[in-house]
Every structure is written in structure tokens, then in C-alpha cells.
Amino acid sequence: MVNFKRTTRTGLLYVMPLVLFVAVFMVYPVFYNILTSLFDWNGISKSKDFIGLRNYSDLFGDPVFWITVKNFFLFAFFTVFTQAVLGIVLAFMFSRKFYGSDFAKSVIFMPAMLSSIIMGTIFFRLLDPNVGFLRIPLKALGISAPLSNPDLAFWVIILVNIWQWTGYSMSLYFGSIVSLPTELFEAAKVDGVGNVKLLTKIIVPLVRGTTYNLTIIGIIGALKQYDLVASLTGGGPANSTQTFTTYLYDAAFTNYKQGYASAIAFIMFLIALAVTVIQLRMYNSKDVG
Amino acid sequence: MNKKGLSLSLAAAFLISASLFANGSSESDGAGDGRITVQSWQYALGDYKGFSKDDELTGAVAKDFNASHPGLQAEVKILRDADHYTSLRVDFAAGTAPDVIGIAPGANLDQFKDLLEPLRPYAEKEWGPDWKDKFTEAAFTTIELSGDGIYAFPSAMSASGTVWYNRQLLGEVGVDEFPATWAELEETTAALRDAGLIPLMFGGKDAWQSYDMFITILGTINKNLANKLFANEGDWTEADAVEAFAYFQNLYIDGIVQDGALSTTLYNEGYSLWKDDDGNSNLPMIFNGSWDLGSLKASNSYYDKFSSYGIGVSTFPDIEGNEAVVLTAPDVAWAVNADSDNKDAAWNFVQWLCYDMQQEVVDGLGFFSVLKDAPAPTVALTPDYSAAYETISSAVASDRTVGFRSSFYPDMNKALFENLQLLAISEITPEEAGAAMNAACASIGR
């Protein structure tokens, strides 16, 4: 006969290390951060002044915060959408073998293996308006210093991100497409379905699970976007490329406003929570293929 | 081992390792035994005795201190600037902060002062009640600004607001002398642009470059107003302040600074064009400070190549007939951890670096001494170095100086940098910049 009491106790002992780890390193920091956001604190002094929700009211009244919100949506929408479209088209193209296709796939995927800081630094050099290799073609297009132009700088960051991560989207879509039953493609061929229709009417619906995953990863990536911004613009010019994380870093480490930075972190936490809830609902939905 | 035994072992291993992490190792655990830990950021020790590699540099400093202080033993560590301050935050919270801390005077010092030992009593004990007479007046401008004690001692002064120039490249566009006025600066930079050369290199992405430039302009137009504004006692919409904003904006509008200046940091993007690893110089002019004097030493690799361009240094051009100011302020300061177990030994290190070693500061660091009776350089100097040193030191000795390079108030610094960037992209007018600064400064405690 199974001794349930004893089994439960042993089970609890097994999970205890992980529970302790999660409690100390994940749960406690979240609550500590919420608590810190209620104080005026420079992150250094032993004393903190309780100010209630003032950090939040200051945050919502700060125009730079709304720039970060706008940039988050812009970044999430354009990178997720463009990478998905380019990724699925490339994956569909590579799903049929041709000479050099493996090499081309590797080259397209390669930027995803490099650190974003390295990507940012390379593009920063390329775009330098005085000595960068791209300065001449850009000048021909009437663009002199895109990273110094508040109307263009954030779009450059979006483009670099797309350039870096399209290969990653392509590889996930490629895996999904090649795992689809071959009969499907043969039947489509017999019925005379063209490539565009095959892609849009058959493949896209069948790989929507991958699309959901890439969307969630992309949105969380947009929320955490730091490396490219730090290496390309540092959040400037004039805060036009600030993201949540660069803004948070500036508040905590440049401007000595730890409570304010904690309020930004809590807003990020709420957004991540909402995205995760949507993600879990999608996973639990029977519709996801 | 049965399941229960295994789980108990795992749990025990976890708890033991967690408690070890929690316990940590205090950097100050050598209570009273003369061992001290020193941490600073990279350039704070300059090229001490010609060493530039981190471990050789820190080793040389520690060795010299230990040799001259029997019974004391310093362990010196340097980190990158941002890493240094980030690690200090964590170390202070964990009770493992170093005994001696290199700290930048101004806003950084002001934020950390609650955790630092007041040093006035130590100085009085060391040098008597008139100890301050030993130091230049400017040495404490950004240390004592808040008026509530001395929490750090300066070891080196710098001078900024200067322009370094390349005679050979200026000569290519027919400019034989560095521009003496703003109008000449405009003409020179226009000629350089026409010749396909980069005009004045300026790191507009750096807050410190933007502050240096704006304070130089404002101080040149109205030095007293600059002093008042940065002490948060003035009106940013006063005509001279608005005019300074207008001049700053014209740097960008009139193309005096290079294209893309707003996305350029001076180190290393700008500087790597000024002097690359092979001694080539591709810039006619760069806005920089006295700390670059070291580049004019014969011991530098490729010095001969670099020197062949005819490198010179000048104060900024005059503005509306006013001779330009230079910004002279303590650049590096040293503090003692208030919770240190070895405060006396830590003070010995501070006192050694800030007083005893001033000859080394002058000889090796590319900085100026903090002492009134400043020692003259004793090392062999190149003619370029001597000329540059003479230009800067006579500017520092004149009354055309401003004693700070940013504000004590982080909120004022933040607002100023934002408004200078908005001016650069012509998003606001100089008048609006003044009004925005008044609004930002209104909530700062005086």
C-alpha cells in the first residue's frame, strides 16, 4: 500500500530547492521592486522617503515615458510582422532544394547567432556620416546622418533588428513547413494551386503555431530591447529612441532615481504579464496548430 | 541512496550553498590589520609611471604605497567607469564595499556621500587647521559645493573647454592660426567642409561633452551667471543664458561640428579619427581636455608620426569679444568607506595619492596638481607637450576659469542634456530651452 503522507513529504523535499530558488531569486525581487517603486530613493543611500504612488504619477506625466510606449508598439509591430512575412517567404522558398540553398540559409541565419551589441556596433560604423561605408549611398538618397535624426533613428534600429532576426524566423518556419505532410503539397500540385495560394491559403494557416510563438518572442523582445538601442543611439537623439529598458537604465544609473526606475520596471512587468496570459491562452486553445 | 536520502542531500546542498552566497566575503574583513582595498575607475590613475595596462598599473600603485607605508597593504582594482559605480551600489548594500573609493566630484560624490567618511577631521589632524591653504581654491569647487562637509579628497585637476588642432590639416585650407573668434571658427569650419574634411569633432552623444561645450560658451559670455545657474540660484531665461543656448544651437545649424555629431561619442569614435593606433590624425580639430596631454609624450607609440602633424591646443575662440574660459575642476577624488574597519589606513592611502604623490600626477597622469605649490614636471617633455602644457596651465592660472563641468544636481544635468539635444535638432528655440530649464530646476532642493 502506498503511504501517501510519506510520498507527499518526499515530493515536497524534492521540489523544495527549486521553490526556494524561485522564491528568493524571482518572487522576492518582484515584490521588492514594487515596494521600491513607492519610495524616493537614489539606490545608494540607506534612507528612503515613502512617496506613495508619486513615481507612477510622475511617470505617466513624463513625455519620455510615452515615447517609450510608442516605440515599444512600433518596434513590436514592425519587427514581428516583417520578420514573420520575410521569414515564411524565405522558408517556403528554401523548402524546395536548389543549388546553394543550404549555404544561403546559413548565411541568412548567421546574424541571429551574433550578439546584438556586435550588430549595433557594426551598423554604427557603417552608418557613420563621416567615415562609414554606407554614407555615400545614403547621401545619394538624401540621408546624411540617420542616427542623429530623431525621425529616422528608431527606424534604423527596427531595420537592423529585422536584418538580424529574419533568419531566426525563417529557420522556425522552415522546420514547420518541412514537417507538414508531403501529400498536402502533392495534392495542391495536382489541383493546380499556385505558389502564392499554396503559401497564403494552406501553409500560413498550418504553421500558425510557429507564428504565435514568434509573435510572443518578438513582443517580449521588444519589451526588453536594450542592446541595439544602447549601441546605436543610446536612446537619443533627444530621447527619440528610448525604450523601456534604456529609459529604466538611465533613471536608475545615470539620474539616481531608483524608485522611478522601479516604477518603470513594474509597468514592464504588467505588460509582460499580459503577454504571457495571452500566450498561455493560445497554447491552451485547441485551434493552435 | 534511497529517494529520501537523495532529496535530503539535495536540500542540504542547496541550503549550504545558499548560505555561503548570503554570507559572501567582506572586502573589509581585514579588521584593523592594515589591509585595505581600493577600487576606482579606469582613467582615475592615468598612466601612473608610464603603465597603461590595468594589472600593471594597479600593481605599481599598490607596490609604491605598500613600500612607503610599512605595516599597510593596499590591494588596488580598477573597473570601467559605469561598472565601478554599479558595483559600488551592490557592494555598499552587501557591506562589502572597498575601503578606499575613487569617485568623480560633483553629482556622483553627492549621491554617495551618506556612505562616506567625513574627511575634514583627518585633514586637520594631518596638516593642522590651515590644511586647506595647501590646496588650490579650485581643487574643492565640486567637492564642497553642497557646503556640508568634505567626503572626498581630489588627486588631480583637469582643464576642459579646449580645442586640439592639427596644423597640417588646417594648413590645407589656408588656415595658419587657430581661429581666434567665433566668426573665424565659422569660416574655418566652412572651408574645411568645402575641402571635404571634417570640421570640429564633437561628441554630442556624450553628456559630458555637451556640458563642457555649453558651460564653456555660457562662461565665456557671462561667467557669473554660469556660476549662479549651476548652483541653482539663477534664471535660465536671462538674456545671456538664452544667448548661450543660441550659440550652442548654431554649432549644429551652421555646421561647425561634424555631421552626425549627435550620435558620436568622443571616446572612441571621435578620438580614433583624431589619433589612430598608428599615429595617423584625420581630424583638423577636436573638442577635448587636458587629460590628452599624455598623447604628446615621446614614450607614446607612433609619437613621431602623430607629432609630425603639428599638434596644438587652444582655448575656445572668443565670443562677442569675450576671452574664452576654460573649465578647471577636480577630475578625480578619493573617499573612505564610512563602514571600513581600516579608516586610518584608508585615509593614509587618500593622503598619499592626493598629497605625497602629486609629482607623479604632474609627471605621469596628464592632469594638473591640486596643490597650491604645484610641482613642475620633472620628466623630459617634448616641445609639443611643453607648448600645450604652457597654454593650458596659463589659462588655468588666469581669471578666465569656471570651476565645474556639470551640476551637483542630477535632475539639472538630465534636463540640460535633454534641452541641448533638442536645440541641436532644432526642436526647441533657445528661449524655450531657458524656460524648460527653469521648469526643471524649480523642483530641485536648494
Share of chain A above pLDDT 90, in %: 77
Residue A288 has pLDDT above 70, yes or no: no
B7/A147 CB distance under 8 A: no
Average pLDDT over residues B20-45: 68
Residue A284 has pLDDT above 90, yes or no: no
Among A9, A44, A57, A156, pick the best mutation site for testing chain B contact (most B Cβ within 10 A). Answer: A44
DSSP B116: B
Residue B299 has pLDDT above 90, yes or no: no
Residue B216 has pLDDT above 60, yes or no: yes
B263/A147 CB distance under 8 A: yes
pLDDT of residue A280: 82
B73-79 and B35-41 as β-strands: parallel, antiparallel, unpaired? Answer: parallel
Residue A19 has pLDDT above 80, yes or no: yes
Question: Confidence band (pLDDT; 50, 70, 90) for A107?
Answer: very high
B262/A17 CB distance under 8 A: no
Enumerate residues 6+ apart whose C-beta is below 8 A from B403. B138, B141, B142, B227, B327, B328, B329
Of the candidates B65, B139, B127, the residue with the CA atom closest to the CA atom of residue B349: B65
Q: Which of chain B's residues have a Cβ under 8 Å away from the Cβ of A149?
A: 425
More confident call, A149 vs B7: A149
Query: Is A218:A87 a contact under the CB 8 Å cutoff?
Result: no
Q: Does B92 touch chain A (CB under 8 A)?
A: yes
Strand runs (DSSP E) across B80-205, as ranges? 100-103, 153-160, 162-166, 200-201
Helix, strand, coil % over all residues of chain B, rounded to 5: 50, 15, 35
pLDDT of residue B19: 52
Question: Confidence band (pLDDT; 50, 70, 90) for B22?
Answer: very low
Q: Which of chain A's residues have a Cβ under 8 Å away from the Cβ of B439?
A: none
Residue B68 has pLDDT above 90, yes or no: yes
CA distance A239 to B29: 44
Q: Which of chain B's residues have a Cβ under 8 Å away from the Cβ of A148?
A: 204, 259-263, 425
pLDDT of residue B31: 55
Among B248, B259, B263, pick the best mutation site for testing chain A contact (most A Cβ within 10 A). Answer: B263
Query: Is B162:B232 a contact under the CB 8 Å cutoff?
Result: no
Chain A contacts in chain B segment 322-361 (CB below 8 A): none
Q: How many helices (H) and strands (E) does chain A have?
A: 15, 2
Average pLDDT over residues B185-205: 97
B14/A236 CB distance under 8 A: no
This prediction has a pTM of 0.88
**Separation of CA B439 from chain center:** 28
Q: Does B399 touch chain A (CB under 8 A)?
A: no
A128/B269 CB distance under 8 A: yes
Residue B104 has pLDDT above 70, yes or no: yes
Smallest Cα distance from A218 to chain B, Å: 27
Element (H, E) at B426: none
| Mean pLDDT over each residue of chain B, to the nearest integer | 89
The three grid cell numbers given for residue B42, joined into one nine-digit string: 579606469
A256/B92 CB distance under 8 A: no
Chain segment B402-434, per-residue pLDDT in tens: 999 999 899 999 999 999 999 999 999 999 999
B263/A44 CB distance under 8 A: no
Query: Is A226:A249 a contact under the CB 8 Å cutoff?
Result: yes
Smallest Cα distance from B444 to chain A, Å: 13
Average pLDDT over residues A118-139: 91
pLDDT of residue B28: 46
Query: Is A71:A158 a contact under the CB 8 Å cutoff?
Result: no
Question: Confidence band (pLDDT; 50, 70, 90) for A46?
Answer: confident
pLDDT of residue A92: 95
Chain segment B106-134, per-residue pLDDT in tens: 889 989 999 999 999 999 999 999 999 99
pLDDT of residue B44: 84
Residue B18 has pLDDT above 80, yes or no: no
CA distance B128 to B137: 17
Of the candidates B56, B35, B27, the residue with the CA atom closest to the CA atom of residue B346: B35
CA distance A180 to A166: 21
pLDDT of residue B23: 46
Q: Does A153 touch chain B (CB under 8 A)?
A: yes
pLDDT of residue B6: 61
How many interchain CB pairs under 8 A, A with B?
108
Which residue in chain A has the smallest CA separation from B414? A255
| Mean pLDDT over each residue of chain A, to the nearest integer | 92
Q: Is the dihedral of CA A227, A233, A238, A240 positive or negative?
A: negative
pLDDT of residue B377: 80
Q: Which residues pair with A49 in a beta bridge?
A: A40
Residue A74 has pLDDT above 90, yes or no: yes
Question: Confidence band (pLDDT; 50, 70, 90) for B141?
Answer: confident
B114/A239 CB distance under 8 A: no
Question: Confidence band (pLDDT; 50, 70, 90) for A36?
Answer: very high
Smallest Cα distance from A127 to chain B, Å: 10
Which residue in chain A has the smallest CA separation from B86? A253
Amino acid at A32: Y
**Separation of CA A3 from chain center:** 48
A237/B114 CB distance under 8 A: no
pLDDT of residue A124: 94
Residue A150 has pLDDT above 60, yes or no: yes
Share of chain B above pLDDT 70, in %: 91
Chain segment B223-280, per-residue pLDDT in tens: 999 999 999 999 999 999 999 999 999 999 999 999 999 999 999 889 999 998 888 9
Share of chain B above pLDDT 90, in %: 65
pLDDT of residue B412: 95
A14/B7 CB distance under 8 A: yes
Chain segment B359-380, per-residue pLDDT in tens: 887 876 567 889 988 888 887 8
In degrees and rounded to multiples of 5, residue B313 shows phi and psi of -135, 145
Give the closest of B82, B89, B262 to A43, CB-based.
Answer: B89
B89/A44 CB distance under 8 A: yes
Give the closest of A16, A149, A153 to B11, CB-based.
Answer: A16
Q: Reduced to 3 states, what is the DSSP secondary structure of residue A59? A: helix
Of the candidates B11, B84, B27, B75, the residue with the CA atom closest to the CA atom of residue B340: B27
For A183, B336, B355, the CA distances from B326, given in Å and listed in that order, are 79, 30, 24
Chain segment B311-336, per-residue pLDDT in tens: 999 999 999 999 999 999 998 899 99
ipTM: 0.86
Which residue's entry shows cell 539663477? B234
Residue A102 has pLDDT above 50, yes or no: yes
Among A130, A136, A143, A248, pick the best mutation site for testing chain B contact (most B Cβ within 10 A). Answer: A130
